[in-house]
Structure 1
Amino acid sequence: MATTVRAQLRTLTRLRAALWAPGAVAVLALLLMPVYENGYEFVVNYDPQGDAEQFERLYTTALLRYTSGFVCGQLIALAVGAALGRHCVRTAAPARPLSIMATAGLAGTALGLLNLAVVAPAAALRTELAMSIVDVRAAGLDFDPDLLRDPGFWQVLLVGLLSFPLWAVAGAAAGLLLDPARVVPALLAWVLAGGVTAVLVVLWDERLAAVAALVSPPFGSVASPLGTGTNADAVTVALLVAGVAYAAVLGTAAVRVSPGRRRGVAG
């Protein structure tokens, strides 16, 4: 297994998607931070009043800063995984599906850590939660202004990071399962359909954001910090469930598909 994964890593480094992915993740993570910072006012409350709403805004904005770029980063991880799976089918390169998906997972993990490494210093410089935990409790909120001791902060961060390898694995499985010519159109259609569905669901009733996260990973990656910041962490749980489910279902299908349907990919 280790030998075949190393071979797939060498293959991955020769793919065009793997060459542009790290730079794209890093640049988008920084460029999108100002957009993320406006998420609370745009989605939750455009005119926060009183201590409770002001504290909630500051906390939610901090979560959004530390997860800046996670949406695009996870989609790029999905694309890298799909490119690897597609390449293995198209070139008839002998490899086992598990090795291909493991390699994609490692690539997704690396992209997630890169995203965090880029945004964490910038987020730390732009974030100062000056209120005390006593002030927060008095306002009826339950987060810790010391983010390193706040469970919600770590929940959002860890689920977001875990989503990178999960979507990379799902992408690799999709690349193995689909005809090479249909991989890109199919994934683009899925992302677009999921995003539109999520927006329609949330416009219908914002309390259904957790449901929207299940069908739209991009929405879930934004809704996770927004939900946690407003005491609705079910969205983060839904994002994790969706990532695990897609990776598990597609991965199992890729392993069980007859080798004859994957030229050169061993069963």
Structure 2
Amino acid sequence: MREHLTPDRLANKIRLMRTQYQGTFLITEGDTDARVWKNLVNTRLCSVENANNKQKAIAALDILEKDNCAGVLAVVDADFERLEGNISLTPNLLMTDSHDMETMLLQSPALEKVLAEYGSEDKKNKLTKSTGQDIPTLLILPGVFIGYLRWLSLKEGLSLKFEDLSFKKFIDETTLALDKFKLIKTVKNNSQRHDLDEQILHKQIEDLKQKTHNPWSVCCGHDLICILSIGLCKAFGSCNTKQVETIILEKDLRLAYERSFFSRTELYQAILQWEAANQPFQVLASIEE
């Protein structure tokens, strides 16, 4: 099964494939990322290999680099690495422009395409006029605080659990405003960390925040999509919950993401530079293909 794929097994698979295949191997950290990449790469010249998580992707790349296996590139989510000042020590490891692949999709015109499919233009115009904020900003405003809580948990080893949160407990369905203390309480309860003081957590988050932090690097894409789902039900749409489940929205954003959108990113330029330094290996498909 995919979860049992170890870095050694992935490296061995690529070594074996190399005996028959002379193209590039692109290692990704997850299945959903792999699906995005399969629409962006030249599939004749680049094989996308899913490592199943970030650590395995990096470890498999390290094994192959030590074996001097050429033509292997890994692309992983930046997560909080840039905010922590961590940089890749190998040119064969690249990171997303922002927190993760989902935030890259949300920053692109793919979001407008999804809003056009599920949203209400009248509701959207009314909301943006009343708040003075566009839809991406309305997602970012609550999302960034959640991101800081995630980052704080990692930095302080709090082991907070964010899986299966009910976002409606702390996100206003009409305005998308965040109740910060309801968020903290919900995450505490979800994590069975009743020992943590909510006021102290709030202060620690405020201390962690800095104006120099790019909010798209702080926010987790999944959180933003959860907020988007809520918004499409009431704030700027009239969908029912099942119509805009996060798994559906994530799929629609992937399908709406065009090669021309990707060509405007820093990651695209970094891959072009990698191709130039690793000829004859190629990764990207042309925009016209």
Which TM-score applies when normalising by structure 2? 0.26
Which TM-score applies when normalising by structure 1? 0.27
